[in-house]
Amino acid sequence: MGAASKIYESLTFTKSATSGLQEYKEWEAQAFGGVLLKGITVLTRSENQAIAHIAIHHRPLGGALKFSAVLGDSLHGEIDPSYFYSEKGE
């Protein structure tokens, strides 16, 4: 999460909703010199309200792929590169 948060130039949460143990947070962000990204973060909590799972979804596709590639480069040697998009087609 720390490496990913460093990619954003700005991040604003715009809407939120809760349903049972799931919380949904819509957001808008800028990265890569002002490219607009939008998305949603889904937090799933355990019965004792601890966060049990996080899912972060980005759009549009081009921004999501660039985000994945940049994140993969920043985590090179720490996480298997097959988890990330490669602009080199690897």
Contacts of 40 (CB under 8 A, 6+ apart): 24, 25, 26, 27, 56, 57
Architecture (CATH level 2) of domain 2-83: Roll (3.10)
In order of 10, 44, 50, 51, the CA distances from 37 in angstroms are 10, 23, 28, 24
pLDDT in tens, 42-81: 999 999 999 999 999 999 999 999 999 999 999 999 999 9
pLDDT for 88? 75
The structural domains of the chain, with segments of one domain joined by +, span 2-83
pTM equals 0.84
pLDDT for 21? 98
Q: Quickly state the pLDDT bin for 39 (edges 50, 70, 90).
A: very high
**What are φ and ψ of residue 33, in 5° steps?**
80, 30
